[in-house]
Structure 1
Amino acid sequence: MTTARFRWALATLIALTCLSSLQAQDAIPELILKPSIADGQLSHDAMLSRGYTPLFNGKDLSGWRNPYPFGEAKVVDGEIHLMANKKFFLVTEKKYSDFRLSVEIKLPEGKANSGVMFRCHVDPEAKKKVFGYQAECDGSDRKWSGGLYDESRRGWIWPSAEGRSTDQFLEHAEESKEFFKQPAIADALNRNGWNRFEITCIKDLITIELNGVQTVRFRDPTDASGFIAIQHHGEKGQTYRFRNLFIKELPEIPAEDHVSLTDQEPVSIKRVDEKTTLIDFGKVAFGNIVMPVPPGRGKGNVHFGEKLKKGRIDREPPGTVRYGVTPIRFGQQRGNWVVPAPNDDRIVQQAGLMYANPPAVLLPDHWGAVTPFRWIEIEGVEEDFPFELIRRRAAFSSTWNEEASAFESSDETLNRIWDLCKYSLKATTFAGVYVDGDRERIPYEADAYLNQLSHYTTDDDVTMAARTFDRLMENGTWPTEWSPHMVFMAHAQWMYSGDIEWLRQRYESLKSKTLMHRSGEDELVRSGELDQKRHDIVDWPKKERDNFVFTEINTVVNAFHIEALQQMAEMAQAVGKEEDAKAFVARAEMAKAAFQKTLFDDAEGIYRDGVGTDHSSIHANFFPLAFGLIPEDKKAGVIEWLKGKDMACSVYAAQYFMDGLFTNGCDSKALELILADGDRSWKHMVNSGTTITWEAWGLKYKPNQDWNHAWGAAPANLLPRFVLGVQVGSPGWKTANIRPCPGGLKFARGKVPTSQGPIEVDWENGDQFKLELTLPDGMSAKIEIPATDSSKSVVVDGQSAEATEEDGRWILKEPVTGKVTIESK
């Protein structure tokens, strides 16, 4: 997160900006509520950046045909213009099956109707030559844009209406028409501007999005493939305009280009009985095995496992801890073979029956199936078999650099926690994008953001973060607070890379992720009954919510909303959207005022869970603390209250709890919780013997938890960012902030990768504080070091340096560069 100073500057900018009229104030939300696609070239570049293939080259109509004897199509300034006196369709020459399609349409003034056909068909002999699925672009007052229509066949599918649909679709007629009356749906079309239609077809599942608003999610098995087409509705003299026609054929398999298989030798081989040999590979990894083909005749089994029980692979492990068996047959061929790991169908589903789940991230077919395992048992193979030739083929990021990062401190348990968390990041790169362990193999927004933060601090080639962001923007999940995490991911990627063009190409699409569509006049987000029962997460799993009481206006959801607005303001400023920046700051300031007035309990000095309850969970307090939402005169009381609490949250929320504590001078408390003796700490996790972090503190907190979940690896970013004290100062790491938080440790040293090169830190904490720092060429750093009780001044490379003492820290006036030694005296 960027400094409070930058946010203060933006807030001041708004305070000094006098909006000329109430009408101008009313227009502010329109700037930031909907994505703008006015800039066609920017949209074009964004689609290429996201891996799409053009359907239209911008110069001529290569790849397209008109199956009608009438209608005119021509290319004008990189657009396709359709003109006709009767309805006709311009159709691709190629058929497509599973894909994500993006088309931008601008309707003419007056009576107009258009659409995008997909998986459609052409019958040259028929009067109505083109028929099939169509995403509707409805310029009338009916406002069914984004609806699903079956052209020249079954009529309206979603919505549906008597006389316009076949009987099978009339059972949801009222429901679907009410759905299209919702303001977000009814107003999704920009009647007088450009509109982006995005259509995804996977198996029998069809989704349609209009300007970032999902209007259709429907299953229909009628057509599995067909052409793409664009429509002129037949109004005489009208010109329909189309641009930026792109397609991405599915499935994408990111591991093909970004992940490699590494052969690993066994760490130990043990014959456990006359039929079975146990092989240990030392740590869990995602993979399978390659082994010589056993000679002779007969059958055997290879058992794969993440967990041992009484010295053997646990064949009935708890939750979703992995176990499986693959049968093998002897002597059928010579040489080596790959023994695929057994897999659950759920991790390969592309259009499963679960409503909430996007497509699973697939792995290359030629790998064979993989699973997370540490041990195998070979059953039925003779004792003289060359078990030492068996190799595990483990999947890791092709660019993972083990030497990119390091951490060591005076606390050996903390060092073991670092090693566990760093390896967890490496081991979970197997899919080429961040996924939720091995239960569904899909990215979730919150999981991915925590993954991203820790990947930045452990590796020096982190293209996976941007890939995961793009996938999630196309395959979002259901929880309320997960949506603002997309803003956080984009902000973190911009700060890490400094790539302003990447941000500019994605900025507009982020406007739908702030939760503004659920906010009221006071800018606070409202949660309906379904939101309170299902969508609002607060923490996960449910047992980790510290008895949080759900209400219509709750503190946690609104903390995320406000932080998203603040980060959007910073990114708007960066991409040159000055009016957007002002609007976002204005909305954030309004929301913060209402947040404090509505949700803070003045009598108790802490935040309530929401309006209508007096209960205060730790979540209602550490999220505002982590996001810098607490007024200075209220902060000390909240901090003191939190310092009296244990880790009454999950491993996910602990990222934010620790962030809040470390940032606000409570490093001793943060380290105390990380190293606590109970079962809700990383000390417990590392002492359990696991080699990849868990999804939860233990099975009793989440019985179906994965044992290979990188959102449990928060110390991989907390220790470099706070204990070593290395944080990004400006986009692209042009500057850094070095602010060690020793928390009672005697020393810490390590290496933190950045986009400019590694930063090396080595500090000692005794009667005085000594910091040795090496920065990459071209980077400068602002320095804050702890002020020990006996320190009176600061020296840099033996020379007195100007510094001020604030809140127990020495703050150097001038930034430093290169290799320096800084000491308190």
Structure 2
Amino acid sequence: MTTLRYTTLIMVTWMTIAGAGAQEVDIASLSKPTADASGPEVFADMADRGYIPLFNGQDLTGWRNPYPHGEAKVVDGEIHLLADKKFFLVTEKTYSDFRLSVEIHLPEGPANSGVMFRCHVDDEAAKKVYGYQAECDGSDRRWSGGLYDESRRGWVWPSTAGRSTDQFLQHADESKQFFATPRIRDALNRNGWNRYVITCVKDLIRIEVNGVETARFRDATDASGYIGIQHHGEKGQTYRFRNLFIKPLPVIPGQDHVKLTEQEPVTIRRVDDKTTQIDFGKVAFGNIVMPVPASGRGTANVHFGEKLKNGSIDRDPPGTVRYGMTLIRLGQQRGNWIVPTPVDDRNIEQAGLMYANPPAVLTPPQWRSVMPFRWVEIEGLDADFPYELIRRRAAYSATWNDDASSFQCSSDILNRIWDLCKYSIKATTFAGVYVDGDRERIPYEGDAYLNQLSHYTTDDDVTMAARTFDWLMENGTWPTEWAPHMVFMAHAHWMHSGDTQWLKHRYEELKTKTLIHRCGDDGLVRSDEMDQNRHDIVDWPKNERDGFVFTDVNTVVNAFHIQALKQMSEMAKAVGKEDEAQAFQARAQMATASLNDQALNQATGIYRDGIGTDHSSLHANFFPLAFGIVPEENRQSVTSWLQQRGMQCSVYAAQYLMNALFANGGDQHAIELMTADGDRSWKHMIDSGTTISWEAWDMKYKPNQDWNHAWGAAPANLLPRYVLGVQPNVPGWSNAMIRPCTGGLSYARGNVPTPLGPVQVDWTNDDVFRMTLALPSEMTANLDLPGRKDTTSVFIDGSKVDATRSGERWIVDQVVRGTTTIEVR
């Protein structure tokens, strides 16, 4: 594309926006949320997310004014504060660890307010309220979201001479520069509502303003206290507050959404005169329950393990493959013991490394501790102990349905891969939200999205995806591309459930996840030195990046950005934000044109890793192909190039490589990669004997990997979505797309769960492609069918139908309902 053509395209794009009436939508409105809702809907939504109202919207029950001056009243569901001297309205209860959400509207003119938290009240003192405050700064200084210590130590973050104690002046320059950066400086909406979110866990304090984190600081001065809201004392000024909610922490999702299932041993064998080994057949997260010996003294050891070595549990396994030992005392109890597994401190940490580790997801304390294991070895009990009465208490989603899904095809190894990956999704539901295996037990956005896709195709009652989305919106992680994954998660949930009301309540928050705040005038995301060295992930672990060269404009990052913009446009339209839908679409078009002009190498027909390098990695090509960014005239060249490169990416990125291949005629190659010999395929996992998918292809590619990582279970969604070919066409599945990819297989059959009921597919591909399709009663489907070059017609229930040839596929004009038989002849 010439520069003139590129510039013209950008001008046309923005003229289109103006012509559509969206010219008033600026980048600020697309990049940060607008707090524009209140009332019963908000109360119901926040309650669904685990929040408790601090203000009932009707009166000031639960609040008090410790000052002799100041007025607080309720007006149209808001708290209005009026005064001619500073005062604070405070709660009657104290709080320790929590996530607090408050919306503030500053008055015009000179104004300053804030939210007190873990604060103290001394009714006898002149300055009655003191402690932590999240600043709401209406002045040109723009320190909104700063951490202030009211009537005590002054400014903590940022800090400044004369207003801070010496210990905080050490970071004065750094903190002031931080608040001068545009994203932080402009976080406050000076003339509208602003949502403040304050999270306190142990000594870790986080403050967010309109979705932008403004403070993350450790301070152990106060562990609990009151919540308060401030009038700064300007006479005649009214400060407005609404939507005040608090969520006590920690939250334990497994409490209501996971249950323990007692499982019998598969085999029991005596290893030696002191030790008996019990095999439960597959790895699961749990512990055991066993009878207390009727007699005996002393102790016995219970060993738990994921891996065997020379026929016994490996007690020094590699990476984070799990092993642990619990000591039990004999002869001091009656009945049954629950034998907990050892506790890994990292799996229960609630305030770990400040920028690396959000809180671990805890399991219910009444379970006792759990870990992933398949084998138990009990050392110190007699041979005649009733080992057959020992049960594993395995934790799975309380609504998991093994019969909800099925898949079978002409490839035995592919069937075994399906079984492995389906069980991997089931086994990793133990926490009630999707977590990264057992290393940290925290959700990551990239991991969670892959889990979500596979959970939808394997189970028929999936609430965990939406629950994990809400968890991650409150506990996000650091990689650049993980932020757009939140847009993907919301879009996938909306498409699966059709729940536009759910989407409406989360749409504004998603604006912080598109990376628009890092864009230049050409619509492309910029990466500074820190982004290139740490945040831009491309793939993980690092040695799986196929030699990717990092530059200021990263092709992979921008592919994610463009896909997020496209999905935001769809979701904006769904929630009635037509102008924003057009603006997101226009920015997606502009960024696509810019990326294709500057990163697509016209000489080779493939993408460079970024602007400023001629290196072309696998990742720089399959992500744009998977996201529909590649121009139609270049798709074949990119697909062909990918097919020559093999699996030069991680288990995580393989999801997107497979998506790209299946959607662009490379289905046979995709299946060959899944089932390939060597150590970079799911066949390798099967051959290793694992029962849950791995975090990486092999230990040599990630020496610290764990063996219970569901992001390695992509075939659980790839086989139903592409080989059976079942995907939603509209939100809620009232219309589906049935697009089977045969991939060299002679037959495939299975059930794909949907909210309307299962879709049943059974196809054979010999001389004729023949498919029996059974749809739920409330669903219609469009058909996109495979057809060799010598095929001429499509028949439905024996009658020829209108269809259009597209390459080696047939697009059927009519929709189908119920149970039908389709043939391509």
User: TM over 0.5, yes or no?
Assistant: yes
Provide the rounded CA distance (Å) in 1 between the counterparts of 2:44 and 2:608: 46
Q: Is the 8 A contact 2:17 2:583 kept in 1?
A: no
Report whether the alignment pairs 1:40 with 2:14.
no
SS at match of 1:19: helix
Shift of 1:809: 1.3
Which residue does 2:755 correspond to in 1?
A: 755
Shift of 1:57: 0.4
Which residue does 1:7 correspond to in 2?
A: none
Provide the rounded CA distance (Å) in 2 between the counterparts of 1:116 and 1:299: 55
Which residue does 1:701 correspond to in 2?
A: 701
Shift of 1:663: 0.4
Provide the rounded CA distance (Å) in 1 between the counterparts of 2:802 and 2:140: 68
Shift of 1:44: 4.5
Which residue does 1:388 correspond to in 2?
A: 388
Report whether the alignment pairs 1:516 with 2:542.
no
SS at match of 2:492: helix
Provide the rounded CA distance (Å) in 2 between the counterparts of 1:482 and 1:173: 31
Provide the rounded CA distance (Å) in 2 between the counterparts of 1:122 and 1:160: 24
Q: Is the 8 A contact 1:103 1:198 kept in 2?
A: yes
Shift of 1:26: 7.5
- Which sits farther off after the overlay, 27-36 or 197-206? 27-36
Provide the rounded CA distance (Å) in 2 between the counterparts of 1:27 and 1:709: 42
Shift of 1:27: 4.7
Matched pairs, number: 814
Provide the rounded CA distance (Å) in 2 between the counterparts of 1:20 and 1:663: 34
Tell me the TM-score normalized by structure 2. 0.97
Shift of 1:355: 2.6
SS at match of 1:655: helix
Which residue does 1:136 correspond to in 2?
A: 135
Q: Is the 8 A contact 1:622 1:660 kept in 2?
A: yes
Q: Deviations over 1:252-281 (max 9, x none)?
A: 000000000000000000100000001000
Q: Deviations over 1:633-684 (max 9, x none)?
A: 1111111111111100000000000000000111101001001111000011
Provide the rounded CA distance (Å) in 2 between the counterparts of 1:763 and 1:521: 50
Q: Which amino acid is 1:330 matched to? A: L
Provide the rounded CA distance (Å) in 2 between the counterparts of 1:532 and 1:26: 33
Q: Is the 8 A contact 2:120 2:226 kept in 1?
A: yes
Q: Is the 8 A contact 2:131 2:152 kept in 1?
A: yes
- Which sits farther off after the overlay, 368-377 or 638-647? 638-647
What pairs with 1:670-681 in structure 2 (closer than 5 Å)? 670-681=670-681
Q: Which amino acid is 1:409 matched to? A: C
Provide the rounded CA distance (Å) in 1 between the counterparts of 2:353 and 2:440: 13
Shift of 1:400: 0.2
CA RMSD of aligned residues (A): 1.5
Q: Which amino acid is 2:770 matched to? A: K
Q: Is the 8 A contact 2:13 2:590 kept in 1?
A: no
Q: Which amino acid is 1:116 matched to? A: V
Q: Is the 8 A contact 2:25 2:583 kept in 1?
A: no
Which residue does 2:104 correspond to in 1?
A: 105
SS at match of 1:457: helix
Shift of 1:806: 1.4
Which residue does 1:286 correspond to in 2?
A: 285
Tell me the TM-score normalized by structure 1. 0.97
Which residue does 2:575 correspond to in 1?
A: 575
What pairs with 1:215-614 in structure 2 (closer than 5 Å)? 215-294=214-293, 295-353=295-353, 355-614=355-614
SS at match of 1:731: coil
SS at match of 2:505: helix
Provide the rounded CA distance (Å) in 2 between the counterparts of 1:653 and 1:406: 25
Q: Is the 8 A contact 2:22 2:579 kept in 1?
A: no
Q: Deviations over 1:768-813 (max 9, x none)?
A: 0000000001100001221134432121111222212211112211
Q: Which amino acid is 1:36 matched to? A: T
Q: Is the 8 A contact 2:738 2:784 kept in 1?
A: yes
Which residue does 2:7 correspond to in 1?
A: none
SS at match of 1:284: strand
Q: Is the 8 A contact 2:17 2:23 kept in 1?
A: no
Report whether the alignment pairs 1:126 with 2:125.
yes
Runs ≥4 residues deviating over 6 A: 11-16
Shift of 1:29: 1.6
Which residue does 1:67 correspond to in 2?
A: 66
Provide the rounded CA distance (Å) in 2 between the counterparts of 1:67 and 1:31: 39
Shift of 1:20: 6.2
Provide the rounded CA distance (Å) in 1 between the counterparts of 2:353 and 2:407: 44
- Which sits farther off after the overlay, 171-180 or 799-808? 799-808
Shift of 1:353: 3.1
Q: What is the percent sequence identity of the aligned residues?
A: 71
Q: Which amino acid is 2:597 matched to? A: K
Which residue does 2:55 correspond to in 1?
A: 56
Which residue does 1:205 correspond to in 2?
A: 204
SS at match of 1:328: strand
Provide the rounded CA distance (Å) in 1 between the counterparts of 2:374 and 2:718: 27
Runs of 5+ consecutive residues of structure 2 not aligned to the other structure: 1-9
Q: Which amino acid is 2:372 matched to? A: P
Runs of 5+ consecutive residues of structure 1 not aligned to the other structure: 1-10
Q: Which amino acid is 2:289 matched to? A: V
Q: Which amino acid is 2:543 matched to? A: K
Which residue does 2:3 correspond to in 1?
A: none
Provide the rounded CA distance (Å) in 2 between the counterparts of 1:768 and 1:16: 50
Provide the rounded CA distance (Å) in 1 between the counterparts of 2:524 and 2:418: 39
Provide the rounded CA distance (Å) in 2 between the counterparts of 1:450 and 1:83: 50
Provide the rounded CA distance (Å) in 2 between the counterparts of 1:770 and 1:297: 69
Q: Which amino acid is 1:205 matched to? A: L
Provide the rounded CA distance (Å) in 2 between the counterparts of 1:796 and 1:393: 50
Provide the rounded CA distance (Å) in 2 between the counterparts of 1:138 and 1:567: 34
Q: Is the 8 A contact 1:768 1:790 kept in 2?
A: no
Q: Which amino acid is 1:284 matched to? A: V
Provide the rounded CA distance (Å) in 2 between the counterparts of 1:20 and 1:561: 25
- Which sits farther off after the overlay, 204-213 or 781-790? 781-790
Which residue does 2:94 correspond to in 1?
A: 95
Q: Which amino acid is 2:94 matched to? A: K
Shift of 1:687: 1.2
Provide the rounded CA distance (Å) in 2 between the counterparts of 1:378 and 1:301: 6
Shift of 1:40: 2.7
Which residue does 1:28 correspond to in 2?
A: 26
Which residue does 2:6 correspond to in 1?
A: none
Q: Which amino acid is 1:773 matched to? A: L
Shift of 1:130: 0.6
Provide the rounded CA distance (Å) in 1 between the counterparts of 2:313 and 2:356: 33
Which residue does 2:619 correspond to in 1?
A: 619
Provide the rounded CA distance (Å) in 1 between the counterparts of 2:237 and 2:11: 48
Which residue does 1:76 correspond to in 2?
A: 75
Which residue does 1:3 correspond to in 2?
A: none
Q: Deviations over 1:1-47 (max 9, x none)?
A: xxxxxxxxxx99978846169x9758532331221112334654542
Q: Which amino acid is 1:523 matched to? A: G
Shift of 1:49: 3.4
Provide the rounded CA distance (Å) in 1 between the counterparts of 2:206 and 2:15: 45
Q: Is the 8 A contact 1:31 1:583 kept in 2?
A: no
Provide the rounded CA distance (Å) in 2 between the counterparts of 1:259 and 1:18: 48
Q: Is the 8 A contact 2:13 2:589 kept in 1?
A: no
Provide the rounded CA distance (Å) in 2 between the counterparts of 1:518 and 1:162: 32
Provide the rounded CA distance (Å) in 1 between the counterparts of 2:779 and 2:703: 47
SS at match of 2:649: coil
Shift of 1:51: 2.1
Q: Deviations over 1:696-722 (max 9, x none)?
A: 001000000010000000000000000
Provide the rounded CA distance (Å) in 1 between the counterparts of 2:577 and 2:202: 40
Report whether the alignment pairs 1:710 with 2:710.
yes
- Which sits farther off after the overlay, 24-33 or 675-684? 24-33
Q: Is the 8 A contact 1:748 1:762 kept in 2?
A: yes
